Structure 1
Amino acid sequence: MPVAHLTQTDIRRAGLALAAGSAAVAVLAGCTSGPAEKKPVATTSASPSASADPQAAVKAEVAAVYRSYWDAQVKAFAKADVRDTGLEKYAFDSAYADALADVAGMKVRGDVMTGAPVLTPQVTAINLDQEPKKASITDCLDVTNWKVVDATTGAERPLPAERLKRSVTNFEARTVGGKWMITSAEPQDRSC
């Protein structure tokens, strides 16, 4: 999946999950030991924006799938092989096909990737009124420490100096059999 921006070939060569956990709302009720003694009730509440967003749970679920999608890709690119990475559980349609093609290309060139990208995704849109349900994610991918290296020697492969190391990429997700999956990635030609 896309990592850097220059040409489509450079993007795909560089290679391509918000471990957004849901914020839990815990209410701890104190017990009373008698009518005269009251213990304080401690509460933690969700932020106003989280509690005001009726789609917060769905956004958290989509974000978790996105994080898992990236975890699987990092594993696949680290060994130039998608087997035993779980990628098929999180990527579908062109996102899956692109990852397979990218990994196959790396294998042919004798490359792997070390490190991992830094993700800062936001689920920007959710549509639950249709089947399949759909979601959009925008991320500022930081690939500064995700390097393409020679699988045999470990030597870092040179990439164009002008390629973006932090760039905006838009992702689409949809439900497949009731489960959220990442379906496409569209790199934007701009830094973030």
Structure 2
Amino acid sequence: MTRTPTKNRWRKLAFACAVSALAVGCTTNEPTSQKPPTTPPTSTPTTAPPKTEAPADPVETAKKEAIATYLSHWKEAEKRYADKAGKAGDLKKYAAAAALAQVETDSANLRKKNAVILGTVTVDNPAATSADINRKIPNVIILSCLDVSRWTVTDTDTQKPAALPKNRLLRYAIKATVEKWPEGWRVIRDEPQGKKC
């Protein structure tokens, strides 16, 4: 009888079905990842734009820088007048032209008389009254009240105050011209106005 081939055929068929069922059972039409599909956000998070400073007004900047230079000029002049050798203070960093020459000349005259000026000078209410920054050499005009009441002309030998006129001005108006040079701002003129303030 020829049963054996049929039996074998059934076995082969059963084996093929089992393999097919196993293969189909191990696969799925679902995505391999169990994560839900992502959708792009409907709105993007917004952050406030960074705050930017308004650009500085160049005229106001020039005025502030010129006033700072003028105040520094007087601090350095104070050092020069107080130095017996007449070398202290970094005047050239803040002054040039007539303003520098005036401090140098006054300091030399004090040394000739064996004198120095001790104490402090105060620049009260410095105000930039005009600024021309469109010139080839920008400049600022400053008006202020110079207070020399705490300055004492002192004899370097005796260390005693020198005799000075009683009617001299101790607080007087002064007009300065400050220019912006390649190296920075420089006081070029510092002119007492001959009136009290």
Q: Shift in Å at residue 171 of structure 1?
A: 0.7
Structure 1: runs of 5 or more not aligned? 1-50
Which structure is larger by alpha-carbon Rg, 1 or 2? 2
The answer on 1:128 being equivalent to 2:133 is: yes
For 2:194 and 2:163, locate their aligned partners in 1 and report how far apart those are by CA, in whole Å: 20
Q: Shift in Å at residue 85 of structure 1?
A: 1.1
Q: Shift in Å at residue 145 of structure 1?
A: 0.7
Count of aligned pairs between the two proteins: 142
How do residues 102-121 of structure 1 correspond to structure 2 at under 5 angstroms? 102-120=106-124, 121=126
Label 1:110 to 1:76 Cα distance change in 2 as closer, same or farther (>3 A): same
The answer on 1:79 being equivalent to 2:83 is: yes
Is 1:80–1:104's contact at 8 Å kept on the other side of the alignment? no
Q: Which has the higher contact order (CA 8 A, sep 6+)?
A: 1
Q: Shift in Å at residue 151 of structure 1?
A: 1.2
SS in 1 for 2:122: coil
SS in 2 for 1:102: helix
The answer on 1:56 being equivalent to 2:89 is: no
Identical aligned pairs, as a percentage?
30
Question: Per-residue CA shift, 1:138-159, capped at 9, x if unaligned?
Answer: 1101111111010122111111
Q: CA RMSD in A?
A: 1.8
For 2:169 and 2:150, locate their aligned partners in 1 and report how far apart those are by CA, in whole Å: 13
Label 1:73 to 1:80 Cα distance change in 2 as closer, same or farther (>3 A): farther
How do residues 1-192 of structure 1 correspond to structure 2 at under 5 angstroms? 55-120=59-124, 121-177=126-182, 179-192=184-197
Structure 2: runs of 5 or more not aligned? 1-54
Question: Per-residue CA shift, 1:172-191, capped at 9, x if unaligned?
Answer: 11122251100011111210
Is 1:112–1:149's contact at 8 Å kept on the other side of the alignment? yes
Q: Shift in Å at residue 167 of structure 1?
A: 0.5
Question: Per-residue CA shift, 1:90-124, capped at 9, x if unaligned?
Answer: 11000111111111111110001111111111111
1:114 partner amino acid: L
Is 2:86–2:111's contact at 8 Å kept on the other side of the alignment? no
**Given the two structures, how large is their TM-score scaled by the length of structure 1?**
0.69
For 1:130 and 1:165, locate their aligned partners in 2 and report how far apart those are by CA, in whole Å: 35
Larger helix fraction of residues: 2
